[in-house]
Structure 1
Amino acid sequence: MRLSAALKLLAVLLAALTVALVAAVKSMDMGKLKTLAVEQVRAATGRELVLAGPLELRLGLVPRLIANDVSLSNMPGGSRPTMVSVERIEAEVALLPLLKREIRVQRLVLSSPDVLLETDRAGHGNWSFTAADNVSEPLPPAKGGPPATRFTLREVKIKNARLFWRDGMAGNGRHFNLHKLMVQPEALGKGGVAVQAVGDLEGRMLNLDGRLVMPAAEDKPWGVHLQGSFDAIQAKVEGTVADPLGGRGIELAVAAQGDELGKVVLHSQAPGKPLDAQSPLALGPFKLSARLTDGHGLLAVADLDLTAGRRDALLVTARGGVADLMALTGVELTLGADSDTLAGLSRLTGSEVPSIGPLKATGQLSGGGTQWKLGDFKANLGGSDLSGQLALDMSQRPRLSGALTSVALALADFTTPASKPGEKLAPKGLKAANDGRLFPATPVSFSALRSFDAKVDLHVGRLDLGKAHLTDATAQMSVADGRLSVRPLRAALAGGTVEAEMTLAALDKGGDLALKLQGRGVDLGRMLKEAGIDALAGGRSTLRLDLHGRGESWRALMASSSGESVLSVGEGRVHNTAIDWAAGDLLIQVLGVLNPLSRSEDDTPLSCAVVRFVVRDGIATADRGIAVETAKVNVVGSGTVDLRDERLDLGIVPKARDGIGLSLTSPLAGLTRVRGTLAEPSLSLDEMGTARTAASVGAAMATGGLSLLGEALFDRLTGDDTPCKTALGNAPAKSDKGKKPAGKKGRKQSRSESGFLDGLFGG
């Protein structure tokens, strides 16, 4: 055949094809096609499809089916009438199938779609459609009716899409702008389509690219190979999905990593808020890998491996899986936490955390929904340890239960900053706040006690409190009806026993604190020696403390407290030569001033010692409640500790006992005063008493005490032969019969001195 004849034949065929195409198009009823589309969507979803604009088919080398102003209705009770609205939809159709009155869509372009995904108050999503039972494959064209429509998509393009997520249960939402989405065939031979997406989530850029491998047969899954980034977070997904639109048949390997986990948390809690290095959510880098599957009809996570944080604050690890990710049930995770120092947690807690550590903790988290369990819990902080298990029941009111044990717990591990290699830390006493007060005035919210219940048993082999330690300590901590109770706490202390109870109840404002403590048979000398102070041998003691207060801060609780505290020490021997009287603490210095001659002897026999305070409305008063009886000296003291401003004023006076070669009517020292505050107490000597003591003690050495006769004033104030019983309130009543008044040799007492001492020592 000649070329010219072939060209003529081709022209005739093209003309015939064009005529046939035009005839086919003209035979299509667009109104019936719209009606068919609406009916098919209603049957498949239960929703209304609205094609407000005209539906037209434009001819050309690539025919296009165009629809304008298209919308799909929302679920009943939704926040707006439409779930999806699209300004324009262009569908490129295959040319030859039009001759058979079939519309096969190969390329789809959506311009400016607006999509709303939301849940109602019950958590039901608007993407859950109600399909009719008779929905099937697209209907074949009826004779003379509208053409059948088939989708054999090879390319999808979306431009300027807006997606909005609204949580009807929480009442919040998120905006996502999809600037461009393209799904198009890859280069020949790769057997898939390339995917590219660019968007932003409230100003944070999202980039996604990769490929989807179309199945060779209907029973084969789609291949997924995607990677992308979101605001410096890198992610990768690989695997297969049997039904991408239905979200079924998922077998995906997921990996993600980023330089800051806090960005992920911040985006979910406070969208649009910037994150800097000082933010409370600056948690550190993270790395995640896992497998997503739905083999049992539930979206599950397996082979989870998560590492997040930094060792200079807190490094957290999690390994395991979740049987139902959407319901968060079937959790089986091995958790770990490591920290070189916990000071970095200050940003997270909102308050200063001491530079303590190192910390290492592990545990098995299991359960889900309303039932959670932390088993095989083990933690070490410094030299302290804790282990056991806890359970949380949230089926009704949250309830925490469990049991914890410890071989050793040291208070210093939770309060003392960790030292660097070679660094020596100075010993710490009571730490005052910025205003110089010991008890902080920061308001404390006790209302959290009303939000949950708890019952936890605790056993500690050794509880180190600093200068003392308890052994074999047991306690039960419970929370019920807004009241925290610790009862009873039982422990051994220096050969004796201690039993305590504490309750803290939440009030409308602040809390109500009640504390009771009873100690019996405690060897004070042994306790001091274990603390590194070899000052006493013996001294079996009893201790009783009963306090009650109310307030919105620990300072207010102490300022309103009432009750009583009593310490009673039995017989023992004071090791004079083992005590550093000058460099010792305040108590040692007071004893040194009261008994200056004790430094010349190896030991001083101690008969008893008592410190008793009665507390009323924040004022602790010792009315002759301070007493010491030794073989050489009796000591009586009185005064107040004002817990409202933490100031103290105590006066202590000694009196010689028979057998030391000095007059029984003369003091060994003047009036010793302890003043200042609880955080910074100070010691001073009454000027009048100090001058008299210096002369008296010096004269006593030369005259055997004869020059000390006539000190009737101090004899009257310190003439109690049983000051310990007096301090405890057990002294026998005394009669004035036979009492000799002060003679001419007695010193006349001034009115001002009499008033002060009568007030100090109860007259």
Structure 2
Amino acid sequence: MSVRRVLGRSLAVLLLLFAALAIGLSSFDWNRLKPILNDKVSVALDRPFAIHGNLAVVWRRTPELGGWHALLPWPLLVAEDLRLGNPPWAKGQQFVSLKRVELRLALLPLLWRQLSILHIQLSEPHAHFERLADGRNNWTFDRGKQTPDAEPSPWTLDIGVIGFDRGIIRVDDRGLQSELELRVDPLGKPIPFSQIVGAKAAERASAAGAAAQDYAFAWQVKGYYRGQALSGNGKVGGLLALQDASQPFPVQAKVQIGSTQIGLAGILRDPQNLGALDLRLQLSGRSLAQLYPLTGVTLPDTPAFATDGQLSAQLREAGGARFRYRQFNGTIGGSDIHGDLTYVAGQPRPKLSGTLSSNQLRFADLAPLIGADSPAEQQARGVVSQQPADKVLPVEQFRTERWRAMDADVSFSGKRIVHGEQLPLDDLFSHIVLADGQLRLQPLRFAMAGGKLEANLQFNGGVTPLQGKAQVQARNLRLKQLFPTFEAMRTSLGALHGDAELSGTGNSVAALLGSANGGAKLLINDGAISRDLMEIVGLNVGNYVVGQLFGDKPVRINCAAADLGWHNGVLNPRLAVFDTENAIVHIGGTANFKNEKLDLSIHPQSKGVRIISLRSPLYVRGTFKQPQAGVQALPLLARGAGLLALGAVVAPAAGLLALVAPSGGEAPNECTPLLQRLQAPAPAPRAPR
């Protein structure tokens, strides 16, 4: 007998067996198995399960499968009116109910004990997901009643595609304070994927894998999420390809949660494992800080915002789900914002990293980077400011609990920062690092008035009270640009230089400054001073002092120099002097930032001709909110004489010389002669004649 004949007979036998199996499967009354199936499934899931309708197997060709699968008929298991119950603690009796289920089986895998379901079609699914505050939920099945030493089943389950039609899904999650109802209905006519997301996005999805299917169903949702009202609608595809991770599932949504609006359109890849997202995401709302209850991402309080970018996500990463918001553009108040951000939901804390930039940033739109509420956020939360009426320094507490909820590593650059029309800031750069409750801005740098200001700020919110450190350096801030509306400064060639280093503890600006230690050095070269200037810088008490010293007209300043000591919140000038065309004026005393009290004395030394307004020392007392100034009585003149002993200012004057920058061909720095003169030893007393 030839090999061809043997193969032919063997194939004929297989076909006969296949036909006999098909006849047997289609003619058998499968309803007889319902009691057994109901009992087995109920025991396995520890839930009441029942098929109340017809149970049958039919053979049908499936052209939509394509290839050779479409040429052969396949067994189709049909069950009607299925119901799966809830655990005893749940509200309702039913967890899931289905009007009809169709399972398309592959026969050959049965030989190696694999239940391969090519396609599942669910008709009118209704599901009610419920979770209690203690964490119990009705979608996790209790398998505890099974025998602990029972051997695992040799059978495996493989599901290809899930299809569905209209249905209702309810979610009651008391742990998240959320209750939602989602309704799904078929569209009258499918909508092409490219019509929703655009041609470029459709091409990008096709290049990354198989082309996305059309939108087939519309959905609506309403309820509340994390205590905030929620409503929305959108569209999805009709088939979830569970085994083919490259087959994308289209999604589209427009949702409003509280005052935040979310719009997205794109694809979900590998839906069985929630593998990846690739969506165009649009966000808008009243403040970025209001995203915290929704996302857990710590963001500063801001004015109204809107952004539009591409969101991609890898949801099954070993280190935690990774979200990336790429090439987004947006606005915050009247400022523009652009960048790339990555959020990793890792342990022990999630982390936000990336780069941000702005072409024009309004200073009024900058939110508190360290978590203190702005007036807008206070109003939104219904909080009344607790700032005392007699205090100037802010007492609002920093919200450091949010610092410990997330880490961050973000770089920000701004080409132009608008702080009013008279003093623009340029080239802002800051590297913001938040780690385990410790916030660092290293550096915070920007250009201003022809010069540069650079600061390193550190705040440790992981301890109570908060610990803060600040190092600030200002160089070559041109006076005529600092005060462009002050006529007397327009011809000035002078500049401001300064260094400061402070540290303190406390959960507010007032507490930090009230406990501060450190110091500051300041030099102002070739400027001018008047009452008008005091009004510009907001120093009201200066109006009186300047008027008493120089009258109403601007006075040229050759140099102003200060070396300020700061101990336990008390500011004590080691050296504070300014040299004018008519006099040298020394300032002494204290400014107490703990109780906001002033006790300063101003001692003028007239050059040559005595001026009436320079006859007596002045004092400034009272509080920061209500300072009081006047002329010291004659007995206090002796106190001023001690201040003017040049030997006491030799070391501070020498330290300030380091701030005198080289001239570089510019006009000479007028502070050099003054500081050198202050270092000179006091003249020896004359011998009596």
Relative to the length of structure 1, the TM-score reads 0.56
Structure 1 unpaired stretches of 5+: 1-56, 58-62, 75-80, 94-103, 107-136, 139-149, 167-172, 185-192, 205-220, 241-248, 267-278, 419-430, 693-709, 742-763
List per-residue Cα deviations over 1:373-429 (Å, max 9, x = no partner). Answer: 2221222223322222233456787554433222222221235879xxxxxxxxxxx
Q: 1:290 to 1:725 in 2, by over 3 A?
A: farther
Q: In structure 1, which of residues 213, 218, 236 is the aligned counterpart of residue 185 of structure 2?
A: 236
* Superposed counterparts of 1:714-729, under 5 Å: 716=641, 719=644, 728=653
Structure with greater helix percent? 2
Q: In structure 2, which of residues 299, 303, 306 is the aligned counterpart of residue 360 of structure 1?
A: 306
Q: In structure 1, which of residues 496, 508, 514 is the aligned counterpart of residue 451 of structure 2?
A: 496
Contact 2:475–2:497 under 8 Å retained in 1 = yes
Q: 1:165 to 1:717 in 2, by over 3 A?
A: farther
Report the Cα distance in structure 1 between the residues aligned to 2:450 and 2:314, rounded to whole angstroms.
Answer: 47
Report the Cα distance in structure 1 between the residues aligned to 2:165 and 2:465, rounded to whole angstroms.
Answer: 58
Report the Cα distance in structure 2 between the residues aligned to 1:683 and 1:486, rounded to whole angstroms.
Answer: 34
Aligned residues: CA RMSD: 5.2
Equivalent in the alignment of 1:472: 427
SS at match of 1:318: strand
Equivalent in the alignment of 1:411: 363
Relative to the length of structure 2, the TM-score reads 0.61
SS at match of 2:366: helix
SS at match of 2:273: coil
Percent pairwise identity = 19
Q: In structure 2, which of residues 400, 411, 422 is the aligned counterpart of residue 457 of structure 1?
A: 411
2:179 matches 1:256:
no
The one-letter code of the counterpart of 1:163 is: N
Q: 1:606 to 1:196 in 2, by over 3 A?
A: closer
List per-residue Cα deviations over 1:179-225 (Å, max 9, x = no partner). Answer: 976559xxxxxxxx996677765699xxxxxxxxxxxxxxxx99854
Contact 2:522–2:561 under 8 Å retained in 1 = yes
* Superposed counterparts of 1:405-554, under 5 Å: 405-414=357-366, 433=387, 436=391, 438-440=393-395, 442=397, 444-445=399-400, 448=403, 452=407, 454=409, 456-464=410-418, 468-479=423-434, 483-505=438-460, 507-529=462-484, 532-534=485-487, 536=489, 537-551=492-506, 554=509
2:610 matches 1:685:
no
The one-letter code of the counterpart of 1:684 is: Q
Deviation for aligned residue 1:521: 1.5
Deviation for aligned residue 1:292: 4.5
Report the Cα distance in structure 2 between the residues aligned to 1:506 and 1:733, rounded to whole angstroms.
Answer: 47
Contact 1:390–1:400 under 8 Å retained in 2 = yes
Q: 1:179 to 1:364 in 2, by over 3 A?
A: closer
SS at match of 1:644: coil
- In terms of Rg, which structure is larger? 1
* Superposed counterparts of 1:328-367, under 5 Å: 328-339=274-285, 356-357=303-304, 359-367=305-313
SS at match of 1:570: strand
The one-letter code of the counterpart of 2:587 is: G
Report the Cα distance in structure 1 between the residues aligned to 2:545 and 2:37, rounded to whole angstroms.
Answer: 98
Report the Cα distance in structure 2 between the residues aligned to 1:165 and 1:251, rounded to whole angstroms.
Answer: 41
Report the Cα distance in structure 2 between the residues aligned to 1:180 and 1:726, rounded to whole angstroms.
Answer: 87
Report the Cα distance in structure 2 between the residues aligned to 1:438 and 1:320, rounded to whole angstroms.
Answer: 49
Deviation for aligned residue 1:629: 2.0
The one-letter code of the counterpart of 1:338 is: S
List per-residue Cα deviations over 1:683-722 (Å, max 9, x = no partner). Answer: 3134754xx8xxxxxxxxxxxxxxxxx9964772575689
2:575 matches 1:620:
no
Q: 1:539 to 1:321 in 2, by over 3 A?
A: same
Report the Cα distance in structure 1 between the residues aligned to 2:299 and 2:437, rounded to whole angstroms.
Answer: 27
SS at match of 1:297: coil
Equivalent in the alignment of 1:72: 40
Q: 1:361 to 1:651 in 2, by over 3 A?
A: same
Equivalent in the alignment of 1:83: 45
2:235 matches 1:289:
yes
Deviation for aligned residue 1:66: 8.6
Deviation for aligned residue 1:491: 3.0
Report the Cα distance in structure 2 between the residues aligned to 1:485 and 1:344, rounded to whole angstroms.
Answer: 23
Equivalent in the alignment of 1:565: 520
Q: 1:368 to 1:653 in 2, by over 3 A?
A: same
SS at match of 1:438: coil
* Superposed counterparts of 1:704-715, under 5 Å: 713=638
Q: 1:306 to 1:620 in 2, by over 3 A?
A: same
Equivalent in the alignment of 2:354: 402
Contact 2:302–2:333 under 8 Å retained in 1 = no
Report the Cα distance in structure 2 between the residues aligned to 1:739 and 1:682, rounded to whole angstroms.
Answer: 47
Contact 2:406–2:434 under 8 Å retained in 1 = no
Report the Cα distance in structure 2 between the residues aligned to 1:723 and 1:400, rounded to whole angstroms.
Answer: 52
Q: 1:300 to 1:239 in 2, by over 3 A?
A: farther
Structure 2 unpaired stretches of 5+: 1-28, 59-73, 102-120, 133-160, 171-179, 190-211, 368-373, 377-384, 656-677
The one-letter code of the counterpart of 2:626 is: S
Q: 1:432 to 1:196 in 2, by over 3 A?
A: closer
Equivalent in the alignment of 2:69: none
Q: In structure 2, which of residues 166, 170, 179 is the aligned counterpart of residue 226 of structure 1?
A: 166
* Superposed counterparts of 1:605-616, under 5 Å: 605-616=556-567
Q: 1:346 to 1:434 in 2, by over 3 A?
A: farther
